[in-house]
A and B are shown apart, each in its own frame.
Chain A
Amino acid sequence: MTTDAYAGTTETSSGPVFNVTGQDWDSIDSSAIEGDRIVINMGPQHPSTHGVLRLVLEIDGETVKDARPGIGYLHTGIEKNMEFRTWTQGVTFCTRMDYVAPFSNEAAYVAAVEKLLDVEADVPQRALDIRVLLLELNRISSHLVCLATGGMEIGALTVMTCGFRDRELILDLFELITGLRMNHAYFRPGGVAQDVPHGAVEKIRETVRVLKKRLPEYAALCNANPIFKGRLKGVGHLELDGCLALGLTGPVLRATGYDWDLRRKQPYWGYETYDFDVVTWDEPDAYGRFRVRLEEMWESLRIVEQAVERIAKNQGEPVMVADKKIAWPSQLSVGADGQGNSVEHINHIMGESMEALIHHFKIVTEGFRVPAGQAYAAIEAPRGEIGCHAVSDGGNRPYRAHFRDPSFVNLQGTSIMSEGSMISDVIVAIASIDPVMGGVDR
């Protein structure tokens, strides 16, 4: 029993309660059941709920009368943890929220911190180009996971194997550039952690070529597939007004025909200089969202190609702000004994300059201080608007960092999308929202 006035007890005192877990439905005494309406608990451990999502479904036969999502099973206190680490270390935490689109989390956070520091105009162009490149590659890999898991959940296993196969190509690029397949912590306030390594440009071009061959496979597999269309068309219907009221953004919003994309409407990091189209669709259902994502991968490829050319051109330019009080003191390099600080830097701080050593120590342990105030920065993640509300009290750690995760907000659309439909359509509706529970629960 709890003393919390708003969180009552979970014990129910009305109506019969049965605990069945499968294969034991015969044990229910059917004489005690009043009517056909039963409440079932789907998840949090259910292969088709897209992660540890719990759904409390009130069903009448096979029809869902009431659907309530229950979240929090992956809550890890990332926002609280960030309050006890420096501003730079914060990236390491927030990259783990939406682990399918880690760069978007990092991007929202560093954009907010840069706003607080007032260094937005000082971030080098090359750093911005690298960020755009990675964000767009990430959009493709994230959409591929969405198609893959969404396909798997309706039984289209080939879509799943194809999706994860192609996503792995992009993760290889991430590993080459950042050192990690996921959880990169690569964006830093003021720039990026290190420059792209030699050979990255060629490798990206090669991967783009492969992806251009592979992406049509999804269209060929699914677009006109009668089973696929039968499962997706008209399912999870949500019009524009519903999207705005419930706060849904991203492909769900664009599938209603509204071309709201922050990359175009409130451009950041030079998106206004890239040539790409905002994809919309006029069927606000699971099928429309699928088509929007499919097309968006092509648009992202266009941006990737442009960004790669820019990176090839401005090779050698800095990737971190010039302000030594913000920038990390050294660039990592790969030596004979593995990755670490470059030999020149070690020689400098250990052999030449005491002040450089002190500076290195101070900036690494204490970090930089951010003038007091608050800022909200929003960018277009693969799932919609991800925003970071960062508050500083002038200290070397965030006073508060709150993330508006698109999965968290979009998941509120579950009820309206699935009530009145079949249980099997609930799975399709949720897959079309594409929530990532790491981002929902943070």
Chain B
Amino acid sequence: MADEPKTPPEKTPPEKSPAKKTPPEKTQTVDTKGSTQDQSADAHADKAAAGAGPWGTDSVDGRRELEVVDVREGMFGVHGSGDTSGYGGLTRPVVMPGASRQPFGEPDVTGEHGWFDDVHDRLAAVLGETGVDDALELVVVDRGEITFVVRRHALLQVVQHLRDDPQLRFEFCSSVSGVHFPHETGREQHVAYHLLSMTHNRRIRVETTAPDDDPHVPSVVSVYPTADWHERETWDMFGVVFDGHPALTRILMPDDWQGHPQRKDYPLGGIPVEYKGGTIPSPDQRRSYS
């Protein structure tokens, strides 16, 4: 499906210095076996099957595996022979920042050092004590933010610990938002929880995924009552079903609305304005920069 990137990926050594502030996405070290989304999904399955541990998506050879979510073709939204620009054959994988490995290093506006590792280690410890050792799928440190990608079955325990443990104490849930990646097979629906610790003045992101054909995620309303409306919005906009939510109804769209508008496959209507035989397609059907 996708060609290999034109230049062979450079071998970069694993990041050693915690003080190094190079944004990971600029390294662009795409693991060769992860260059299409299908293979990437397989790779995930392999890792899980191999029991690579709770945070086991680090490649064996130390290179960072990036999350391929899509493959971009051409330059101007034209495919095949219609594109005379010479860019028609350009194929680039869309890769999200991949898993990071410890030490996660320095972050933060407050000038505090190393709390990413503190939070990670403490969370791993309290999860281990309660016998949940496959909760964390991967940890991504990117742009000075840390994201814990959590397997959905353990989400509730993870946020419970994050809120209640005195060393973690993320007592405030700022925001819940969904993201739809239709090309990431088996992990199409992402739900991101932005947690804030007012006690320690820290922010983290907890993310969980669900496949489109089983879009169920446990509700965190029992831990963070504020997530009530956020989860209703995410259900409304993406169709993610939050199990255990007290009243999961639509919130922004009318009650009898069909479909979930923020999904990437939701058809955009648009008005078929006709002028001398020509019509204007809806925004998602228009030719655009790809």
Cβ–Cβ < 8 Å partners of B229 in chain A: 408-409, 411-412
| Inter-chain contact B283/A395, CB cutoff 8 Å | no
A-B residue pair count with CB separations less than 8 angstroms: 144
A400 to B283, CA, bound (A): 15
Pick from A77, A115, A372, A412: contact of B94, CB below 8 A.
Answer: A372
- What are the interface flags for B141-176 relative to A under an 8 Å C-beta threshold, 1 for contact and 0 otherwise? 011110100000000000000000000000111110
- What are the interface flags for A375-402 relative to B under an 8 Å C-beta threshold, 1 for contact and 0 otherwise? 1101000000101010101111101101
A112 to B290, CA, bound (A): 22
A36-44, A259-267, A351-359: which lies at the B interface? A259-267
Pick from B143, B226, B250: contact of A116, CB below 8 A.
Answer: B143
A277 within 8 A of B: no
Count of A interface residues, CB-CB < 8 Å: 53
B122 within 8 A of A: no
| Inter-chain contact B194/A412, CB cutoff 8 Å | no
| Inter-chain contact A247/B289, CB cutoff 8 Å | no
A268 within 8 A of B: yes
A72 within 8 A of B: yes
| Inter-chain contact B72/A394, CB cutoff 8 Å | yes
| Inter-chain contact A268/B109, CB cutoff 8 Å | yes
| Inter-chain contact A6/B249, CB cutoff 8 Å | yes
| Inter-chain contact A247/B179, CB cutoff 8 Å | no
| Inter-chain contact A374/B192, CB cutoff 8 Å | yes
| Inter-chain contact A393/B143, CB cutoff 8 Å | no
A274 to B235, CA, bound (A): 42
Count of B interface residues, CB-CB < 8 Å: 60
A378 to B262, CA, bound (A): 22
Pick from B25, B144, B178, B228: contact of A115, CB below 8 A.
Answer: B144
Cβ–Cβ < 8 Å partners of B178 in chain A: 402
Query: Which residue on chain A has the smallest CB distance to residue B241?
Result: A6
B2-10, B40-48, B198-206, B271-279: which lies at the A interface? B198-206
A75 within 8 A of B: yes
User: What are the nearest 5 A-B pairs in CB distance?
Assistant: A247-B226, A404-B175, A402-B177, A84-B283, A72-B252
Q: Which residues of A contact B (CB under 8 A)?
A: 2-4, 6-8, 10, 71-72, 75, 77, 79-80, 84, 115-116, 118, 244-247, 260, 265-268, 366, 371-376, 378, 385, 387, 389, 391, 393-397, 399-400, 402, 404, 408-409, 411-412, 441-442
- Subset of 27 A-B contacts with CB under 8 Å: A4-B250, A4-B256, A6-B249, A71-B251, A80-B261, A116-B143, A245-B225, A246-B225, A266-B110, A266-B203, A372-B69, A373-B142, A374-B147, A374-B179, A376-B174, A376-B203, A378-B174, A389-B177, A389-B194, A394-B94, A395-B290, A396-B289, A400-B179, A402-B175, A404-B174, A404-B177, A409-B226
